[in-house]
Chain A
């Protein structure tokens, strides 16, 4: 064997540099429409909120909590949007960025991590902006327990990351499953308490909807936001364990898909 001098080897990029580069690259490529594309990301939740507020007005519905309709709807829709966008981005990143795996040491977990962090950062900006706008234009007091609000949003994000990773791996395996997941998740908009609260529901409905982890996240946000509001569906450990279980399941499924060479998208 010939002698080799390890000091001449070029070192790989350190972990945090890789994550940073992946996040910046993802951010630069996410909205191909440039500035308008970027604006779109903020307009989507605003449009959502406006639409629901208008339908509240038309139907003559008053929020079950004594706050402005805009604020009430925002506490429901923003965690929902965070969940859906995180989930969608997780599923997209493994397919859109799979060729980055050619640049060892980048691996799949890093692609997921960068995407999840970027979604969280984007959401912080969106959430602060939208709440600030609502406070300015329709009044309302600041959240009474800001940590509670953060906890709720964090849970919505965690479900998006854990379940999203699972869906992403499922999508690598089967095209049919990848296409059916968004369809299966359509009802989430109606069953997560976005425009109503758990306290308004009959007991029988609570028993079923309790198993929807996103409902917990949304009610956690409201409990933190509105002084004196308490919900029957606001456990923190349920969405946290839901996210963790699906995250771990995704690791097992990924192992199977990779080891048995079943990935749909070849490198």
Chain B
């Protein structure tokens, strides 16, 4: 009898039930979309913030002070002053390897261009290189992905192009050079002259505009430093720093074992730097505060903003659903009055109504969930150009929320229902 009444009610009041299902579906799709976007927005924005370039620099342990302070270039091949190029692949083997977006090695020296011009900085680097890792994966590395704000007139140099060079826009302007010109380079202290061709002109709006960029192998040959690298810039996705991370950055040994584990297994910039030091022998990894700190600030703000917007939309849809349920009960007050007059108990009427609401709600919710996924993907695709990760955690969350909202939304409706007096309702007041 219960089932018959339930099905009967659902079929007979198609229109009303359709409305409830529609509202629940709308609410659910909103919830699903917002929760999915909110949970993924940190990662997405973090990737966008990689536009600011490296947030960690790796330098050789011994060289950092000497070279920076005195400008000394020890060309004697003292190995402690350089990192090994062969070690670079190890960057992608650390615990947080997946968080390392890209990196590029640099080997700098002073050089003279042409006939007795001023000394300029010659930088050997990887431009755009697919590095094969020991694990068999391929990592995109080099300055092209790392320095996304560079404007290049002409072409990027190929890494296997032993004659190619790129030159900063300021320097090019000063010397009157343009793409396609030849460039004679004499490395400071070296005797050999290298003849290179300018493939492109770089406009970066910083000191790089006064530098010359060549493939790493060319610089290594000119400086007689085969397989050596002076510095590596790493761009990594990190978690905003907290008190623990700050303490660890000063001295990791000051942490208790448990704290240390937490720190080590969280993608703090200091933890990633620490792991890089472990992986690459004789290196020192320093977080670049300008990038790392600002990233943290912006990420936290964005996440908080999205969280608050999500909460607002949840409250909005909850109120919407519960509102509609109340309207539904009002509409049927006569029918309920009749049931009561015929001797139905409150419990029976209650069950009847809740069952109706939940059945419609579940149907609406299921449809809404998939619509919500669609909305989330739409946002991800059009804003970030990549799909939003579908978080399975959202499913139980949405189910619980929908049922809670329907039940909570029914409370005023149920109270109204129980207080209905058959005679009054049937009389039409």
Q: Is this pair of chains taken from one and the same complex? A: no
**Which B residues are closer than 8 A to A by beta carbons?**
none
A positions within 8 Å CB-CB of B: none
